[in-house]
Amino acid sequence: MTFAWMAWTLPTALFFGTILTLLVGMAIWEFARPGGQPRVGILRFETTRGDRLFLSLLGSAFIHLAWLGLVGPDLWWALGLSLLYAIGVFRWV
């Protein structure tokens, strides 16, 4: 089976590798400290660790899309904003 239909560039591979690393890291975290009781944050609904990871990834996608549309293709600043956003989500949501 060949994967020639997919544009496997270095950024694409890094993207999927990062997602895989995050999922494996969350699994290890859950194994090491089971439970992760849901909590109510500033959004006023219960979230678990997995919910907060999903919100971080979804928000990061929107940050990057907005950056592409408003600023241009230099995405390093968008990456920095996304990391700050993810830290905020895990801290306060």
CA 61 to chain centre: 8
**pLDDT tens column, 1-54:** 566 777 777 877 888 899 999 999 999 998 998 877 889 999 899 998 889 999
- pTM for the model: 0.81
For the chain, the domains span: 1-34, 39-93
Residues 6+ apart with CB under 8 A from 49: 26, 29, 30, 36
